[in-house]
């Protein structure tokens, strides 16, 4: 069993346990459930940088990245830097995140928030809405076409945008449908954790122009972004490059200034 299979197996157990403890109606009564969402896709289209910054404490491939910084300080710094969106890891066992991180981020900023999670059940989309998300991530590698359709349709019904993540042509071809807003190409192979920007370059021409194109993982310098823009990418998810510093907001600001300059 590879790491992705293990994460998904554990996630299904985790969600089943939560469903037995907290009914959906509790989330639907959250003050944030009726909150109008902010469009991350629109912000990216209007931006010169397209940066989506990430709050991530650790990962299976890098272990601890940064455990010392408080969520409000990180996301406020990102907002001041002018990012288009903030990705908040909410997986606990493998990434050190929590739904409370999303809640704290929402209380701190107006910037569109992406709940970055291994979503396997509609329950998690209701959770995301109740905790202040503006968008959710769906990973094509772990979902069938029917599951992607049902989950993305539910998300859009709740006013949430959908970022679909793919790693190869097969995943992309099975997943394209009207209920998606953004398509992200993850340059990291989730089974081996190897990174190559060629993945984004190869798939760029196949992604329909209806969707905002996002390149994810392995983006650590401005030259990579300038190159990927020539392939039609408008958004760029950057996590470790900012989080490994003592001031992620300042790192994001300097990075964005280089892109815009």
Catalytically active residues are: 54, 56, 116, 165, 186, 216-217
CB 84 within 8 A of CB 51: yes
CB 146 within 8 A of CB 167: no
Of 54, 56, 74, 53, nearest to 64 (Cα)?
56
| HSE-CB of 110 using CA atoms within 13 angstroms | 4
* Runs of H (alpha helix) within 82-134: 99-108, 122-130
Q: String of b and e for 11-31 (b: at least 16 CB within 10 Å)?
A: beebbeeeeeeeeeeebeebe
How far apart are alpha carbons 69 and 248 in whole angstroms?
Answer: 9
- The Cα-based distances of 50 to 28, 57, 107, 238 in angstroms read 32, 22, 23, 10
């Amino acid at each position: 069993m590879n790491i992705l299979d293990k994460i998904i197996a554990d996630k299904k157990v985790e969600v089943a346990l939560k469903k037995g403890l907290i009914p959906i109606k509790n989330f639907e009564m959250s003050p944030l459930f009726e909150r109008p969402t902010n469009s991350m896709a629109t912000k990216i289209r209007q931006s010169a940088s397209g940066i989506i910054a990430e709050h991530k404490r650790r990962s299976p491939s890098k272990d601890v990245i940064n455990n010392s910084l408080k969520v409000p300080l990180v996301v406020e710094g990102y907002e001041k830097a002018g990012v288009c969106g903030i990705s908040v890891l909410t997986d606990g066992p493998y990434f050190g995140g929590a739904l409370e991180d999303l809640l704290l981020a929402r209380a701190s900023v107006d910037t569109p928030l992406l709940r970055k999670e291994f979503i396997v059940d509609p329950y998690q989309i209701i959770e995301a809405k109740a905790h202040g998300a503006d968008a959710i991530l769906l990973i094509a590698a772990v979902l069938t076409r029917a599951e992607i359709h049902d989950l993305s349709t539910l998300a859009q019904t709740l006013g949430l945008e959908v970022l679909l993540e793919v790693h190869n042509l097969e995943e992309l071809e099975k997943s394209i449908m009207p209920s998606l807003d953004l398509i992200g190409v993850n340059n990291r192979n989730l089974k081996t954790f190897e990174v190559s920007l060629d993945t984004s370059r190869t798939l760029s021409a196949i992604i329909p122009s209806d969707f905002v194109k996002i390149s994810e993982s392995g983006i650590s310098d401005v030259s990579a972004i300038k190159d990927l823009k020539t392939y039609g990418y408008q958004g760029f998810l950057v996590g470790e490059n900012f989080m490994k510093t003592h001031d992620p907001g300042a790192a994001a600001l300097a990075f964005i200034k280089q892109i815009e300059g």
